[in-house]
Structure 1
């Protein structure tokens, strides 16, 4: 089973001092049978105490405060992880939508994940679903066809979208990055009442090459009767492999954001994210993303101004 060395640095910089920074981090590997954490070290500016909790979706969350005045905040994660996937896929699973309906009846968690989030999109979703769905298909076949449809008809283009791009815009553009493709696939499958959830993580080096390697990545998991949660990556049109490392799960990106927080102060802020993934043979994939976000646009604001952190778009 492959072992990966993953180094993830999130750096916030401010053009003037800020204070009372309150934060949540979801950069811990998700607890599941498909992966084993051999080591993880978290380093944060000024070494604050980190309170660990488990959220509604089962994610490990770290919470910390940086109360004193500061001009930068650096959050660093170093981990060594072994992936344990057997490589089996649910492609041949014969479960039908009727079996799925019976299985999720009364299961509030699954029912919640089977509801379309953007109710105003139903007409668009119906038209898009008709391009890959045929009545009578198994649940696994629907999931595969949806992934193949997105991979074949949507263009992978960095910079054309951001974290605030809506599913409606993604379906219109038919372009974007992994985060956009995951959100689009979630809504398409939920339109067909298939429970599915957003997955945040990394895609590690692969001899065949995959889009999104060496960066934070996103894919989805669909609930298939008899198989449970099954991961599939529409950006690369593959069922998840030993090259996918899972960090967090949820309804959408906002439930899985690697770093989330606020601070006090009238400052402009910028965000840069560095990710490197080392393979066993020593080969390293690296990527740096710079996100610029101004919280003040050349005007006076109160000293107690509270601003959110910009978030990293997953590639």
Structure 2
């Protein structure tokens, strides 16, 4: 069992005042058999009203608007979470892919569909090397997890949220989100229901990759044991230091914060995650997030506004 105090701060800044921002957040940790949320607090600049609902995958979703001109918006999520994964390694049972055909859930069927990619033959080749014939689904998933860990290099800064599975397969490099995507493609192609998981991996001085920051992994479904977490970044089953936020088909279903705004301004985004233990130890990581490039037309408008501002200052 482990107890973590997590503070997740998302800060947007704009070089010119914007009029309004419309936002959707998935920053609410899951309550489930192995994870208990003891305390939770959400703090947002100007304290807007947040409407809470549940999405198709069961995640809690918050929606809010920030009216009035502003040049900065901070969303701070504070949580105290107790995690207790009693089984570090799931039992390898006899359930095989053909046994899943009795599952009638539409949601499980959705989680079986791999993405349409150019390099699908490479995925099939990996599965052929692993040899999925007549193996239990847990063993197949574990071997896929191990393959990614052994054949892909953990490298920060070369991918972003728009990087495709084809690009990841080409580079053989990336971070947790990229490895989760490849693992999803492998196990779904093999016929195993699997979902993307967004959360945190809390430092435990074990040298796990991605510790102290937002993290991503996958969960596979077995009729006998339910949803089981696999972390391809570290080649492990999820443990006491994995804290789950949201689940979905892919990252876009689990994005912690997304939205839009009115106004001509360039935005920057930074994310700070702080994780504290009961004994007072504290870990913190700050990342400047690379956002999508703006269109040429929008950039020209930004440049024009900047030029007008410089001319006014010179007068």
The question of a shared fold, defined as TM-score above 0.5 by the shorter chain, is answered with: yes
Deviations 1:171-211 (A, max 9, x none): 11111000000011001111111100000000012132211
Deviations 1:257-290 (A, max 9, x none): 0001010111111000000111222222211100
Q: Where do 5+ consecutive residues of structure 1 fail to align? A: 302-315
Residues 146 and 232, structure 2, Cα contact 8 Å, conserved in 1: yes
Number of residue pairs matched by the alignment: 299
Query: Which SS does the other structure have where 1:67 is aligned?
Result: strand
| Equivalence for 1:300 | 301
- Alpha-carbon separation, structure 2, partners of 1:91 and 1:140: 8
Query: Which SS does the other structure have where 2:301 is aligned?
Result: coil
Residues 213 and 285, structure 1, Cα contact 8 Å, conserved in 2: no
| Equivalence for 2:44 | 44
Query: Which SS does the other structure have where 1:66 is aligned?
Result: strand
- Alpha-carbon separation, structure 2, partners of 1:269 and 1:292: 11
- Alpha-carbon separation, structure 1, partners of 2:118 and 2:223: 29
Shift of residue 119, structure 1, vs aligned partner: 4.8
Q: 1:290 to 1:90 in 2, by over 3 A?
A: same
Deviations 1:28-52 (A, max 9, x none): 0013111111111111011000000
Residues 22 and 65, structure 1, Cα contact 8 Å, conserved in 2: yes
| Equivalence for 1:23 | 23
| Equivalence for 2:86 | 86
Q: How do residues 235-254 of structure 1 correspond to structure 2 at under 5 angstroms?
A: 235-254=233-252
Shift of residue 99, structure 1, vs aligned partner: 1.1
Most deviating of 202-211 and 3-12: 202-211
Higher helix proportion, which one? Answer: 2
Aligned-pair RMSD on alpha carbons? 1.4
Residues 132 and 190, structure 2, Cα contact 8 Å, conserved in 1: no
TM-score with structure 1 setting the length: 0.91
The higher radius of gyration belongs to 2
Shift of residue 91, structure 1, vs aligned partner: 4.0
Residues 266 and 295, structure 1, Cα contact 8 Å, conserved in 2: no
Q: How do residues 222-241 of structure 1 correspond to structure 2 at under 5 angstroms?
A: 222-241=220-239
TM-score with structure 2 setting the length: 0.91
Shift of residue 120, structure 1, vs aligned partner: 3.9
Matched, 1:152 2:153: no
| Equivalence for 1:217 | 215
